[in-house]
Structure 1
Amino acid sequence: MLWLLKSRERKAVFAMMKEAKRRGVEIDELKNVLTPEEFAALLPPEKPKFKGRIPDVTRWGLPADGEVSAKEYWTDTEILAVQESTARGEWEGAAALLASTQGNWARRDQVTGALGEAAAKDDEWLRAWRKARPGDPGAALVNAASLVDVAWEVRSSLQAKHVTQEQFAAFFRVLEQAEDAVHEAAGLAPEDPTPWVTALTIAMGRQYENDQYRKVWAELVARDPRHRGAHSRALQYWCAKWFGSNELMWEFAETAAAESPNLAPLLLVAAHEAEFQDVPAWREPQVSGALDGILALLDGEDYPEKRGDRAYLAKALVENGRFDEAVEQFRHLGTRADGGVWSYSGDPRGEFLATRYAACAGATRV
């Protein structure tokens, strides 16, 4: 009943009912006919997430609120150029870029993901590549990644209760095809861990039991035991919201961090996941004790994955009362609120701004 909803939710429902009537559609169909911007415009603004007097962040040399954007931000000129060429139906640039990543597995995973996403939208160029170079391991790798993207596009990002049986059936069917494609790619390049990174995503989608998942994980770590992208994916699997628990998640994150300083940011991700399950974690010793090492790790030049870690670090520093250091992380982040830590509430820009306010409110003014 509408009276059971909170005020903001009631206002949103009434606005959507009115818009659905205006467009002559059912309210359940409204999201399919509106752009994300139009849908967002129907929602009344949320109350400020920051409690207290909002500071003028520009006094700390930070960009004004109006400049902040949650839009995904790419600075990789090589990937951007290849995405443009594949949109024209050209495959040679994609093949050359992917071939150049051989042995640099983190980069190979990043390029594969970008090319898979492009092929999921239009695979004409990928089909031309596979026809021109039968048995090319790079083309097979991109094919597997693209099928995973297609599967999730079919399923949609909605909660399971809003996904139809037909969508789920198609989702699992395409994931089976993706799994076959992963095995093809792995067979063409036995030393490459990248197909097994894709296999981890498929395992989550196909709802592998823990022992099944560990078999896929074993294939990955046999090829690259400290693969950061794979560890990020696996941490999600071991979360309580997927197929693990808080205990298994922490065990995984702490083991990884002990094996390599480069994997220590996983502790911050685990803390955020725990907090999202209403389990206080930001000030736990394994998190607070890792902050100095993570600060040193993230010092220097930025890149997309590092920006995501920096966002988690900014949040952790605020939660631990280290406000001056948090402000410094926000200087690095600039106007970019596209880190995963901000997105959980559904209002990434709002979360970014609220955390930045808290950092400045507690910091020493410079």
Structure 2
Amino acid sequence: MVDTMARLRAFLRTARVRGAAARPGTGSCARDEVLLDAPDDRLGPALVGAADGAYGPASALLAGTRERAEWDRRDRYAAWLAAFARSRSEWLKAWLTAAPCDPDALLVAAGLAVDLRWDSPARAELLGQADPAVRAAAEGGGHDPVPWRIALDSARGRRAGHTEFAELWAEAVRRAPHHYGCHVAALKYLATASPGAHRECLDFAETAARDAPEGAQVRALPLRAAFACLTAGGPAAIARRRLDAAADLAVTLSAGYPEADPWPAELRNLLAYVLVRLERWPEALEQLRLTGPYVTSFPWDRGVEDPLARFLQVREGVRAAAAHGTPPRGLGLPARGHGGRVRSGDH
């Protein structure tokens, strides 16, 4: 997991560089202006408050997302706050002491309980210890689907059976049928439960995207499935047209967001990665331009310790490829399991 203090430092740098680095239409920002995993303007003050030991800003942020049913934002903000609490938990402890039944505090506590056990070699056994925190968040969450996303992730980590996972999934979609985080959790479960089932994962993602309203974040789910296919050695099982269609859908989604905005940064970074894999150089370059200074560890951290260095290396290669129309050498992306390019006739 990315160091949370580094994330906070990235936020503190944001105000200084935003005016110079995020001007629409000026192309990619300079190397020293790039921000890794920078929070947006709504989350930043909550992290600063937590760094000072105050939970009030985090409480106000999450309460607002709950009242407005902003479930995708709530999910991301809660995950950030839980990650921050891994190294600085005093503010969360104070919050839970002052308001032990607060659904927002319980949500962050549930995320933290799962996070703390996730990286252990004994994860499957230890995650059972997180169940009380996860249940408390779910029982107190009402219509909130985010505790159920955490429960779905925990179930995957515990290697839960299909019946248990299906019951949790039913609770999640009953609350929010198009919640992105729950769909990503389900996609990961499918991939883990049936390694190599790339076609089935893409089927699931395409159906979810097709059923979602225009502009919904879950319409990026096929892109996640395409990424998994391209990085896990599964292209031979998938027609190239389906991978291109997943990217095309994400291009349309990306176009609906402002340029140089931290909220869609992960979408645009992932989309650029997939477009590079598909050797669609001009479109990859456009996504790198649209994301401005905002780089996300995912997907550039796959197999490396320095995702920012990889991003910068890939960006230079994409610029050269877009200018000359030829695939660059040495982009630094790990090879797919089966190697080779994805050609238009692959099935």
TM over 0.5: yes
Aligned counterparts of 2:134 and 2:253: Cα–Cα separation in 1: 33
Maintained 8 Å contact 2:124/2:159: no
Q: Calculate the aligned-residue CA RMSD, in Å.
A: 2.9
Maintained 8 Å contact 1:105/1:194: yes
Call closer, same or farther: CA 1:122–1:336 in 2, change over 3 Å: closer
* Amino acid across the alignment from 1:109: D
* Amino acid across the alignment from 2:28: L
Q: Deviations over 1:304-356 (max 9, x none)?
A: 45212212322333444432222211112345442422222325345434543
| Correspondence list, 1:124-163, <5 A | 124-152=90-118, 155=120, 163=121
Task: Name structure 1 gaps, 5 residues minimum.
Answer: 1-59, 156-162
Call closer, same or farther: CA 1:184–1:244 in 2, change over 3 Å: farther
Per the TM alignment, residue 294 of structure 1 is displaced from its structure 2 partner at its CA by 2.4
| TM-score normalised by length of structure 1 | 0.70
| Correspondence list, 1:1-366, <5 A | 61-63=27-29, 66-67=31-32, 72-102=36-66, 103-152=69-118, 155=120, 163=121, 168=122, 171-172=123-124, 174-240=126-192, 245-260=197-212, 262=216, 263-280=218-235, 284-299=240-255, 300-301=257-258, 302-304=260-262, 306-346=264-304, 348-349=307-308, 351-364=310-323
Aligned counterparts of 2:82 and 2:56: Cα–Cα separation in 1: 15
| TM-score normalised by length of structure 2 | 0.73
Per the TM alignment, residue 244 of structure 1 is displaced from its structure 2 partner at its CA by 7.3
- 3-state DSSP class of the match of 1:100? helix
Percentage of pairs with the same residue: 34
Aligned counterparts of 2:87 and 2:33: Cα–Cα separation in 1: 28
Aligned counterparts of 2:50 and 2:309: Cα–Cα separation in 1: 35
Larger radius of gyration: 1
Task: Name structure 2 gaps, 5 residues minimum.
Answer: 1-25, 325-347
* Amino acid across the alignment from 2:201: M
Aligned counterparts of 2:286 and 2:187: Cα–Cα separation in 1: 27
Q: List structure 1 runs of 4+ shifted beyond 6 angstroms.
A: 241-244
When the two structures are aligned, how many residues end up with a matched partner?
A: 291
* Amino acid across the alignment from 1:113: A
- 3-state DSSP class of the match of 1:316? helix
Q: Deviations over 1:180-230 (max 9, x none)?
A: 212112222321111101111111211112332122111111101111122
